[in-house]
Amino acid sequence: MNNAGRGERREPGGEQAVLQLNYLAPLETTRALARQMGERGNGSVIHMSSIAGSVGVSELPTYGATKAALDSLTRSQAATYGRFGIRVNAVAPGLIITEMWAAGREIPGLADGLERHIALGRWGVPEEIADVVAFLASDEARYVTGQTITVDGGYQGVTAWANYPAPSS
């Protein structure tokens, strides 16, 4: 599993560091491991993407671009390595309570404001991402490849009007 990643960096050279870790590292890691998996006749590669790869986030242009590239890489690697029995998929988490979000969740109103956009009405927890990763790594997903699975509680794909306070009459 390619799970290393870093958020936006505003310092000089920051974009290169984000590109290196979020895109180039999974590219090279998968290349290095594909030979062994191919010799075995099977394998499962799982990239950690983000919903930022499919929506525009003004504060995260480089991060989002690298995750969009990772989603494309997932499809390309699935096409390249599938004939060797290697499946390649990605998981795109939404708003998950992690260390990466620790500072953002402390900004007054930010966490609650974002939460109102989640159909399930709450932030996710890391175990919910782990469950999807475990599925993709298992034989239960033996016919799944080239997919980016969004795990975001309905943040991206639905509008949850009911999660907003009702107007007073």
- For 112, the 3-state DSSP assignment is helix
- For 107, the 3-state DSSP assignment is coil
Burial class of 80 by CB neighbour count within 10 A (0 to 12, 13 to 18, 19+)? middle
Please choose, from the candidates 154, 100, 93, the residue with its C-alpha nearest in 3D space to the C-alpha of residue 129: 93
Contacts of 21 (CB under 8 A, 6+ apart): 4, 5, 6
Helices (H), 21-156: 25-40, 61-81, 102-105, 110-115, 126-137
Catalytic: which of 63, 81, 143, 155? 63
- Decide if 63 is catalytic: yes
Residues acting as catalytic residues? 63
